[in-house]
Amino acid sequence: MAVISRGFRSRRPPVDPSRVPPGQYVTNDFPVLSAGPTPHTPLDKWTFTIRGTVGAPKSWTWEELAQLPHEDVTVDIHCVTKWTKLDTMWSGVAIDTLLSGIDIGKSRYVTAFCDGGYTTNVPLADLTNGQAWIAVGYDGAPLHPEHGGPARLLVPHLYFWKSAKWVRGLELREHDVPGFWEVNGYHDYGDPWKEQRYQGD
C-alpha cells in the first residue's frame, strides 16, 4: 500500500511557487462553497441575460447559448478561504462573445446575478479581453450543479467568490454596487496577488 501511495504522489508535477498567490495553499480537491442550497432550474426554462445600462437588453436560451463558439480554458483558481487549484479545465463562452453586438454605453461595472439570489460585482474591464467566461463544462463533462451548473461565471484572475455559480445574467452599470459577499465584508475587487480578501485589505 505504501508503495502505491508513494507512486501516486510522485506522478504529480512539483508546484511552481510563482503560481501560488500569497497566503494560499495548493489542493487537488475541488471544495464546494455555497451560501445556500443548490438551485435546479430546468434547461428549457433557463436563459442568460445581459441588461442594465446597455442599448438594448439581450437574452439567450440554453440552446442559443450552446450554438455560440465555446473555448476550452485551463486556469488556476484561488478561493479566499486559502485554497488554490492549479490547471482547472473549463469549457465556456467568452464574455467577449456575449458582449459583441451589445451597445455598452457608459457601462463600467457589472453585477452578476444568479438563481438563488447570489450577486457579485466586477468591473466590466475585468470581464473582457479574454479574461472571463460563462462556463458550462468542467474537466470534460457538463458543469456539476454543486459547482454552479448549468452555467457559472469564471473570472479566474480574481478570488473565486467572483465566479458566480448558477449565473443567469450580467447587469451592466455606470457605478459600482457591491454584491452579496462584498456587502458582508469581502473586498470590493478581490485580487488574490494583492491579498484583497476583506474590506480594507
Residues of this chain that bind ligand MTE (CB under 6 A): 31-35, 79, 114, 116, 118, 147-148, 160-161, 163-166
| Residue 33 contacts Mo ion per CB under 5 A | yes
Least separation in angstroms between residue 159's CB and Mo ion is: 7
Beta carbons of 70 and 138 less than 8 angstroms apart: no
User: In the complex with ligand MTE, which residue's Cβ is closer, 70 or 168?
Assistant: 168
Least separation in angstroms between residue 92's CB and ligand MTE is: 14
Site size with Mo ion, rule: CB under 5 A: 4
| Residue 161 contacts Mo ion per CB under 5 A | yes
User: In the complex with ligand MTE, which residue's Cβ is closer, 20 or 79?
Assistant: 79
Distance CA 74, CA 90 (A): 6
Q: Which residue number is nearest to ligand MTE in terms of Cβ? A: 118
**Residue 35 binds which entry of Mo ion, ligand MTE, none, with Cβ cut-offs from 5 to 8 Å by kind?**
ligand MTE
User: Which are the contacts of 152, defined by CB distance < 8 A and separation ≥ 6?
Assistant: 134, 135, 143, 163, 164, 165, 166, 167
Distance CA 199, CA 185 (A): 6
Give the binding site for Mo ion (CB under 5 A): 33, 79-80, 161
